[in-house]
Amino acid sequence: MKGAALAAVPYALLPSAPADARPRTVDHPFAAWLSADPANYTPAERPGSQPLDFVVIHVTQASYTTLNIFRNPQKRVSAHYVVRSADGYVAQCVRERDIAWHAGNWDYNTRSIGIEHEGWVERPGYFTDALYQASARLTAAVCTRYGIPKDRDHIIGHYEVPGTDHTDPGPDWDWTRYIGLVNLA
């Protein structure tokens, strides 16, 4: 599906926040709380307990219903945020102080914030303007909050995590555009 077609998808067809989706607070002011199951992340007190050095960019290889995977205690996976393709809606699933299980490398999990993006690596139509804009604003805020440089050495793709077998966000992710948006946000 191309980006324009995705934007035309009625919002009624997209998963919405469940009734229990309101936390005491969220870390990003433009996010809604859609909690991962506590079995899918590690409570921590970052950055006090571990420094935060990276933002790891992911692509879900699924629809926005990835949120249901994070809510399933059997899956043992999560990310801090998920960004929806059609409209840039941001869901926070794990508090930034806690360790999401997203990178496939414990050291990187402890030192990073993981941001999932709805879509598939081989379907770049999911990388809409709304997704890029919302994600860049989120990444910029995270970098500012923790003093993470807004560059490609610190904002990395999942494929760049040592030991991973993942390819996301893939060759069609526009890193030049994305880093430019992060630095403008």
- Token reading at 52: 């935060």
Q: What are phi and psi of 156, to 5 degrees?
A: -125, 160
Kind of pairing, strands 112-117 and 54-59?
parallel
Distances from the Cα of 17 to the Cα of 20, 44, 93, 105, angstroms = 8, 25, 11, 30
Q: Give the relative orientation of helices 129-146 and 175-184 as an angle to the nearest 10 degrees.
A: 60
Which of 141, 159, 160 has its CA nearest to residue 52?
A: 141
Tell me if residue 116 is catalytic: yes
Residues 155, 174: Cα–Cα separation, whole Å: 13
User: Which DSSP category does 37 fall into?
Assistant: P
Tell me which of 96, 116, 122, 160 is the catalytic residue. Answer: 116
- Active site (catalytic) residues: 116
